[in-house]
Structure 1
Amino acid sequence: MKKKNILWLYLFLLVSILDIFLTANGQQEERLYTKTLIIPFLAIYFWQVSIALKGTYIRKAMIGALIFSWLGDTLLLWQPFFLYGLGAFLMAHICYIIAFKISQRQPFRVGTVNFLQLFFYNLPIYLLAAIVYFLVNPGLGSMKIPVVIYIIIIVMMATTARERFKETAPESFWQVFIGAVLFMISDSMIAINMFFKPFPEASVLIMGTYVLAQLLIVRGIQAHYQ
């Protein structure tokens, strides 16, 4: 890996750690300068290491996911823009679904599908989504429809990541799958903290799992093409 490329990764990690530190200390105003830099550094890193994929749908999908993630990060800094931030992350997940689908050995292979087997493979993901919905449902109010749509899309994102099992290199599969699950956990903690019961460690745990999720997904997609 070229030194100029790894520099962007170090900057991503540095600003992520700084943002988590500010989050832990309740310094929300200062986070305007850290949270909004996390994804741009990661996006530049991916842009540099994916030059060989220039013009491909996978590169466009990944860059799109990172741009929408940055937009979501920025909008969620202000509570009145929560719904818009949710929409931005929904678009990010759709881009990730496309990226995960394309980054397989035979992404569009048509064959028989064992739906019962598929259901049991995805059951842990379904259970996590169902538990979160059960907990937050009473407090959703007018947010019920947007949140339900969001849950459906993030479940699709996680199950598409799981679908890559044996369809890519093990390193790529595990990084992307763990990243997708961590993303789902991070979003679940946001929902629980907002609509069910706030807990003091929420902000740090949300950012920690989110940052790791984004890093693992990017590195996992990169590993597929190396």
Structure 2
Amino acid sequence: MLHDLFIPGLVSFLIGHILYIWAFLLQYSEENISKNKYVIVILTFLAIYSFNLYKVLSPSLGSLKIPVIAYILVIATMALFAYTRKNKTTFWSFLYIFLGALFFIASDSLLAINKFVAYVPNSALMIMSTYMLAQYLITVGSTKHQPRIS
């Protein structure tokens, strides 16, 4: 959130989300995707949300357009793969981690809107609250993971 450390912060969070994707990919299978009839709905929602977030941010991004596009795509992918765990783990592990991914998107969206578009009242509190909730939910969801045998 510090102005002169925005790019290093973006890169560090990007790496963190890539590591989450990798962890969620460990529970991925094409069979799991084909069994889950709502994955296309989630994918569509994430694509529409990501496109609209970028549309709101783009006029103010300047030279940061490419890094921000990359970040939006990575965090949406992280949420998608959090969702694809649905039939591969316990219900509570799935729910906590998927909600955590959505709270990450909320936190990062608030941060980006506050930084690039307009001041959001109480933004620091909302950004950190949603960020901490995201981390908490993903951590708790990870502790509840038990592989489901199909």
Q: TM-score, normalised by structure 2?
A: 0.88
Unaligned stretches of 5+ residues in structure 1 = 1-75
2:61 matched to which residue of 1? 140
* Residue 96 (structure 1) aligned with residue 20 (structure 2): yes
3-state SS of paired residue (1:200)? coil
Q: Is the 8 A contact 2:39 2:83 kept in 1?
A: no
1:17-65: CA deviation from partner (whole Å, max 9, x where unpaired): xxxxxxxxxxxxxxxxxxxxxxxxxxxxxxxxxxxxxxxxxxxxxxxxx
> Deviation at 1:225?
4.1
1:53-91: CA deviation from partner (whole Å, max 9, x where unpaired): xxxxxxxxxxxxxxxxxxxxxxx4x32111011000000
2:10 matched to which residue of 1? 86
1:57 matched to which residue of 2? none
Select between 163-172 and 127-136 the one with higher mean Cα deviation. 127-136
1:178 matched to which residue of 2? 99
> Deviation at 1:193?
0.7
Map 1:36-115 to 2 at 5 A: 76=1, 78-102=2-26, 104=27, 107=28, 109-111=29-31
Larger relative contact order (CA 8 Å, sep ≥ 6): 2
* Amino acid corresponding to residue 143 of structure 2 in structure 1: Q
* Residue 126 (structure 1) aligned with residue 50 (structure 2): no
- Report how many residues are paired: 145
> Deviation at 1:222?
1.0
Higher Cα Rg, which structure: 1
1:85-135: CA deviation from partner (whole Å, max 9, x where unpaired): 100000000000111122x3xx3x455966x96432322222221221111
Q: TM-score, normalised by structure 1?
A: 0.60
Any runs of at least 4 consecutive aligned residues in structure 1 with deviations exceeding 2 A, and if so which?
109-114, 116-121
